[in-house]
Amino acid sequence: MIPAEFDYHRAESVGDAISALADGGEGAKLLAGGHSLLPLMKLRLAAPSLLVDISGLDELRGVEQANGGWTIGGGSRHAELEDRNDLGVVARAASLIADQQVRNRGTIGGSLAHGDPASDLPAVLLAAKGEVETQGGGGRRTISAADLFRDLWDTSLAADEVITAVRFPPLDGWGWGYEKYSRRAEDWAMVGVCALVKAADGSCEDARIGLTNMGTTPLRATAAEEALRGQSLSAEGIAAAAEQAAQGTEPPGDLNATPEYKRHLARVLTRRALEQAAGLRD
């Protein structure tokens, strides 16, 4: 399997990449780790006319603590995140992406920009109320996770916009859990759940739950979050809230799962992720 022909520009800076994207017009695409784009190009499901390669830009890499939260360069690779226990749920989710070779190349910015609801990091960003910093022809802006994901493989990024950084707000005091369910270790999630829980005196002060692969975008399980707030973080309280996890979702069926099964998995995994977040489960 061989990609169709394209032109190639190795960007020297983010600014250079943006100009190249603008010059390249409609068929221009950014290439970072390439682990979402190149497989599609090899199957000829994508055929950009120009690839602007930002994989060599050191300015896009790095993890910094800022204002109690984290700022992660958009070009940072999953492998740079997976072993950092201080990154909490971000590290856990990154460690569960595909396999080591993929994590050695795939980037957080690329994963978010691809807008694939089956990827792990979008639901984490959504649950964490994170945001992406971008730079493009229209200047710099910040896009919240809630505004980033529009539809299947569709984000609110402009064609000439680069995710320069991904910001996670401070999550001190929040417990977390990430549950990924797949048939084989290297597969995409059939369903994944990111749970964040803030506890106070054994009950839930706040909860945020992100769902992977339960729709055309990552979703928040707002009904379950609502049900848990103010409730006891006991196994029973969590189980009751988790029953609401699939409410309002319409996941598409596929080879491995019917919509009904995915909704069932969302409920089970939400309970397990919440139990992790509440310290009731490893």
Partner 1 sequence: MMEAATRTSGGDDYVGQTIPRKEDARMIAGQGRYVDDINPVGTLHAAIVRSPEAHATIVSIDTSEAREHPNVVAVFTGEDLADDWKADVPSVWHPPGVEMHHPDHWPLKRGEVKCVGDPVAVVVATDRYVAADAAEEVIVEYDPKPVVVDPERALENGSPLVWDQFGTNKSHEWAISGGDIDRALADADVVMERRVVNHRTAGAAIEARGCLAEPHGDSVTLYSSTQIPHIARFQLAGMLGMPEDKIRVVAPDVGGGFGTKLNVYGDEALMCALARRLGRAVKWIETRSENLAYNHHGRDQIAYVTIGAKSDGTLAGLKVRMINDLGAYQQLLTPFIPVLGFPVMGGAYRFPAIDLHFTGVFTNKFATDAIRGAGRPEGTHYLEVTMDQLADELGIDRLELRRKNFIGADEFPYETPLGIVYDSGNYAGTLDKLLEHVDVDAFRREQEELREKGIHRGIGFSTYVEVCGLAPSRAVGPQNLGLHAAFFESAAVRVHPTGSATVFSGASPHGQGHDTTFAQIAADRLGISPDDVEVVHGDTNAGPWGWGTYGSRALAVGGEAVARAAERVQDKAKQICAAMLEAAPEDIELADGQFRVKGSPDRSMSMADIALAAYVPPDELPAEVEPGLEEAAFFDPENFVFPFGAHACVVDVDAETGKVKIVRWIAVDDCGRQVNPMLVDGQIHGGVTHAIGQALYEQIVYDSDGQLVTGTLVDYGLPTAAELPNIETDRQETPSPVNSLGVKGVGEAGTIAASPAVLNAVVDALRPLGITYIDMPLTPLRVWQAMQDAGGDGSSSNRGGGS
Partner 2 sequence: MSGSVRVRTVVNGESRESDIEPRLLLVHYLRDVLGLTGTHIGCDTTNCGACTVLLDGEAVKSCTVLAVQAEGSEVTTIEGMARDGELHPLQETFHTQHGLQCGYCTPGMIMAAADLLERNPNPTEEEVRHGLEGNLCRCTGYHNIVKAVMAAAEAGGAGVPKSRKEGVTA
**Nearer of residues 65 and 234 to partner 1, judged by Cβ:** 234
Residue owning tokens 């506890």: 199
Q: Using the minimum distance from each CB to partner 2, give the nearer residue, 32 or 63.
A: 32
Evaluate whether 213 touches 192 at the Cβ level (below 8 Å). yes
Q: State which of residues 12, 13, 42, 151 lies at the interface with partner 2 (CB under 8 A).
A: 42
SS3 23: helix
Q: Which of residues 36-75 bind partner 1 (CB under 8 A)?
A: 43-44
Could you tell me how many helices (H) and strands (E) the chain has, helices first? 11, 14
Contacted entry of partner 1, partner 2, none for residue 53, CB cut-off 5 to 8 Å set by kind: partner 2
Site string for partner 2, 9-38 (x = CB under 8 A): -x--------------------x--xx--x
> 28-31 and 50-53 as β-strands: parallel, antiparallel, unpaired?
parallel
Chain centre distance of CA 53: 21
The rounded distance, in Å, linking the Cα atoms of 206 and 8 is 47
Least distance in angstroms from the C-beta of 80 to partner 2: 10
181 binds partner 1 (CB under 8 A): yes
Judged by CB under 8 A, the number of residues near partner 1 is 21
- 239, 233 in Cβ contact below 8 A? no
**Residue 207 contacts residue 222 (beta carbons within 8 Å):** no
Q: For partner 1, which stretch binds (CB under 8 A), given 66-74, 155-163, 207-215, 264-272?
A: 264-272
**By the rule CB under 8 A, 1 interacts with partner 2:** yes
**Which of residues 26, 172, 184, 201 is near partner 2 by CB under 8 A?**
184
**Torsion sign, CA atoms 189, 109, 132, 147:** negative
Does residue 258 touch partner 1 according to CB under 8 A? yes
Nearer to partner 1, 153 or 261 (CB): 261
DSSP 156: S
Element housing 200 (H / E): strand 191-200
55 binds, among partner 1, partner 2, none (CB under 5 to 8 A by kind): partner 2
Q: What is the C-alpha separation between 84 and 97, in angstroms, rounded?
A: 15
The region, left, alpha or beta by phi > 0 then psi within -120 to 50, assigned to residue 8 is beta
Name the residues that contact partner 2, by CB under 8 A.
1-8, 10, 31, 34-35, 38-39, 42-43, 49, 51, 53, 55-56, 79, 83, 98-102, 104-105, 184-186
Name the residues that contact partner 1, by CB under 8 A.
1-2, 4-5, 43-44, 181, 183-187, 190, 255-258, 261, 264-265, 268
